[in-house]
Structure 1
Amino acid sequence: MSSEDRFRRIYADNFEALLAYASRRVEQPDDAADVVAETFLVAWRRSAHLPCDDEIRLWLYGVARRVLANHHRSVNRRERLGERLRQCLTAVYPPDPGSEVPQRLAVRAALRRLNDTDREMLLLTVWEGLPPREAAQVVGVSPAAARTRLSRARARLRELVGDDPDAPGHVLDVLAVPVPKEGR
């Protein structure tokens, strides 16, 4: 029997078993087919040195096992590379600020409808990041009055803009900056 005929017989006798073996160890059926093809490619290249017929299936499983290990390593490398590329793209291409324009306009319109002190308290605490105690000094009111005004200003702004997290005018989407806590 020629080496080509022997290889054809080995292929016919072992293809289904190797495909089942690979299918149980990969996520995509196409990957299993690639593993089997690579396994038989190795067998073809080493056809002059293949073990005897009694040991060939175990030898093919061993080759398939190493091919699978290489496959899993390459999948992991691709995932890590993809993650690094996504991080780079996020840094290079930040989100489109134009998508926030309608919400920003709604918030600015609502801020104009607040009285001067309430608007200034919100702007100082949210946009400037001042604690209410420091904003009180800027506005010229007591810290207790500042906290009260700030609470009322937030409530009025929520009424004017809305507080539905899924709605386009959600206050927290546009004005969400953590307000520093202060002791009493």
Structure 2
Amino acid sequence: MSSGTDDEDRFRRVYAAEFAPLLAYAVRRVVQPEDAADVVAETFLVAWRRRRDLPGDGEARLWLYGVARRVLANHHRGGARRQRLGDRLRQRIGAAFAGDPGSEVPARLDVRAALGRLGELDREVLLLSVWEGLAPREAATVLGVSPAVVRSRLSRARARLRELVGDDPGPPGHVPGVLTVPAPKEGR
């Protein structure tokens, strides 16, 4: 049995000698070069964890190729799963917005542009309150600020949004047919 220092030294030698050939092996088997770097990193992570199992220097490359082959198989399966998930999400999103008659309404585009002109915290406070339906206390928890800051920012964001949209918003917090900005909920 070898000591931990000997195993670490052997791992370092194997890493130095086999990194470039292993990277070339991975690059030839993936679509994106960044993926090859991930494959090599994962392969050497396995090798580090199993450094006591690393064969002698003459066989180390073959052992690493075997590990890399399994890492690549996992990578390809994961990519296929991500692709299927992405396809399902795109279908759901498409279905959700296909029936949205206001998606092309100029007023909606005005609101989106106005939201983009708000400060980041003001925009996030407004979106968490309006679109996510969070009370100031809840939004404060998400943002890591006090509820008082959320209430203040929400009031300021509503006023600035009305100013930027430029048309009569009707009742406080309302943009006709597009966005309803309710008064903050207390407590909850």
Given the two structures, how large is their TM-score scaled by the length of structure 2? 0.50
Shift of 1:56: 0.8
**Identity of counterpart residues, as a percentage?**
71
Corresponding residue of 1:72:
76
Matched, 1:63 2:62: no
SS, match of residue 57 in structure 2: coil
Paired residues for 1:115-130 under 5 Å:
none
Matched, 1:21 2:61: no
Corresponding residue of 2:40:
36
Counterparts in 2 of 1:92 and 1:10: CA distance versus 1, 3 Å: same
Paired residues for 1:32-181 under 5 Å:
32-94=36-98, 97=101
Shift of 1:4: 1.2
Shift of 1:71: 0.3
Contact 2:23–2:40 under 8 Å retained in 1:
yes
Task: Give the aligned residue type for 1:17.
Answer: P
Structure 1 portions without partners, runs of 5+: 102-184
Corresponding residue of 1:3:
7
SS, match of residue 76 in structure 2: helix
Shift of 1:5: 1.2
Corresponding residue of 1:153:
none
Taking the aligned partners of 1:5 and 1:74, their CA distance within structure 2 comes to 33
Task: Give the aligned residue type for 2:24.
Answer: A
SS, match of residue 29 in structure 2: coil
Taking the aligned partners of 1:39 and 1:53, their CA distance within structure 2 comes to 16
Shift of 1:2: 1.7
How many residues get paired? Answer: 101
Q: Which runs of 4+ in 1 moved over 2 A?
A: 95-101
| Larger Cα-atom Rg | 1
Taking the aligned partners of 2:25 and 2:104, their CA distance within structure 1 comes to 52
Taking the aligned partners of 2:34 and 2:12, their CA distance within structure 1 comes to 22
SS, match of residue 43 in structure 1: helix
Task: Give the aligned residue type for 2:10.
Answer: R
Deviations 1:39-78 (CA, angstroms, capped at 9, x unpaired): 0000000011111222111000000000000000000000
